[in-house]
Amino acid sequence: MIQLAAWTYGSLIAVVIVFQVCLMAGAPWGKLTQGGRVQGALPVKGRLVAGFSVLLLAGMAGGILSAAAMPPNWPEWVGWVALLVQALCTLLNWITPSRSERLLWGPVTTVMFGLAAYVLLGKVPTLGS
Q: What length is written for the chain?
A: 129
Question: Cα(80)–Cα(95) distance, rounded to whole angstroms?
Answer: 23
Identify whether the C-beta of residue 33 lies closer than 8 Å to the C-beta of residue 108. no
Domain-by-domain residue ranges, the chain?
Answer: 2-121
Question: Cα(82)–Cα(98) distance, rounded to whole angstroms?
Answer: 24
Q: What is the pLDDT of residues 40-67, one digit of tens each?
A: 999 999 999 999 999 999 999 999 999 9
Identify whether the C-beta of residue 10 lies closer than 8 Å to the C-beta of residue 65. yes
Per-residue tens of pLDDT for the chain, all 129 residues: 999 999 999 999 999 999 999 999 999 999 999 999 999 999 999 999 999 999 999 999 999 999 999 999 999 999 999 999 999 999 999 999 999 999 999 999 999 999 999 999 997 665 555
Question: Cα(29)–Cα(71) distance, rounded to whole angstroms?
Answer: 32
Question: Cα(89)–Cα(33) distance, rounded to whole angstroms?
Answer: 12
Q: What pLDDT shows up at residue 128?
A: 57
Angle among Cα 4, 8, 9 to the nearest 5 degrees reads 115
Alpha helices (runs of H) in the chain, residue ranges in sequence order? 2-24, 44-67, 76-95, 99-121
